[in-house]
Amino acid sequence: MARVGIITFPGTNCERETLRAFASVAGVEALPLWHRGELEDGLDLIVLPGGFSYGDYLRAGSVARFSPLMEQVIQFAHEGGYVLGICNGFQILAESGLLPGALIRNRNLRFISRNLTVRVERTDVPWTCACTKGQLLTIPVAHGDGNYVDHAEDFAQSDEAGQVLLRYCDSNGELTDAANPNGSMGHTAGIMNAAGNVFGLMPHPERAMTDRVGGGDGRILLQGIVQWVDDHSAGEESE
């Protein structure tokens, strides 16, 4: 049984569907966590869901990064624990320094809310292990600040190290400029840390769990992640 903790900050608004999405994956115990609470023991995965924590004031994610539970999450990640950030969760992880780079205003200055295609770059890591290399996934995005940036040399380093796991692409898998919705460097839609135990992505896999809502590609990601953390977690031994 994988124990998955899902954090709610003031202004988070995707915690319900994220809980529901994980709970719908076989072998998951999904636990809601409040940002002022304590981390439960034996968590295999911590998820920071989407939303607008603290109203996106100052910079998206910048205030949530200092909420009491985040100090414990940072500690958890430094000890090798698995941490996933979706959308605003990604922004919080970047602000906290657990992920490289930052997310700034979309280049067209518009809030983008639609299904997009992303290409899977590698599959030998927890976050995309159930996909095939080069697989195209259709997953919705909903963000105003999803433009991934870093210093050119730092990005080149993360990119060469294979940390970019998902890239925005067209329906043929090509990285055309028109297929880059927000202007992200290297078409980055999802990036992990160098150690590989922290991953952030702008698309919302929890909103793509079944064909009834327009597609189930998000389920492929979440199922793989759950399987991996269940097999590899440093936490409790699986029964």
Partner 1 sequence: MICTVHVELRDDILDPEGKAILHALHSLGYDEVSDARVGKVIQLQISGDNRDDLAPRVEEMCKQLLANPVIENYEIEWPA
Shortest reach from residue 102's CB to partner 1, in Å: 4
Give yes or no for residue 194 binding partner 1 (CB under 8 A).
no
Give yes or no for residue 59 binding partner 1 (CB under 8 A).
yes
Give yes or no for residue 105 binding partner 1 (CB under 8 A).
yes
Catalytic residue among 15, 95, 121, 206: 206
Shortest reach from residue 148's CB to partner 1, in Å: 11
Give yes or no for residue 152 binding partner 1 (CB under 8 A).
yes
The identity of residue 26, as a single letter, is A
Give yes or no for residue 150 binding partner 1 (CB under 8 A).
yes
Shortest reach from residue 46's CB to partner 1, in Å: 22
Whole-Å CA distances, 217 to 35, 128, 137, 140, 226? 29, 11, 6, 10, 15
Stretch that binds partner 1, among 76-84, 102-110, 129-137, 231-239 (CB under 8 A): 102-110
33, 72 contact by CB (below 8 A): no
Per CB under 8 A, which of residues 78..97 are in contact with partner 1?
A: 94-95
Catalytic residue among 87, 129, 131, 169: 87
Angle between helical axes of 15-23 and 217-232 (0-180°, round to 10): 70
Beta strands at 45-48 and 147-149: parallel, antiparallel or unpaired: unpaired
Which residue in the set 13, 75, 108, 172 belongs to the binding site for partner 1 (CB under 8 A)? 108
Q: Which sign does the torsion angle of CA 22, 68, 164, 233 carry?
A: negative
Closest CA to 168 of 229, 112, 239: 112
Helix (H), strand (E) at residue 225: helix 217-232
- Between 63 and 202, name the residue whose CB sits nearer to partner 1: 63
Rounded to whole angstroms, how far apart are CA atoms 153 and 108?
Answer: 25
Q: Which residues are catalytic?
A: 87, 204, 206
Residues that bind partner 1 (CB under 8 A): 58-59, 62-63, 66, 94-95, 101-102, 104-109, 147, 149-152, 183
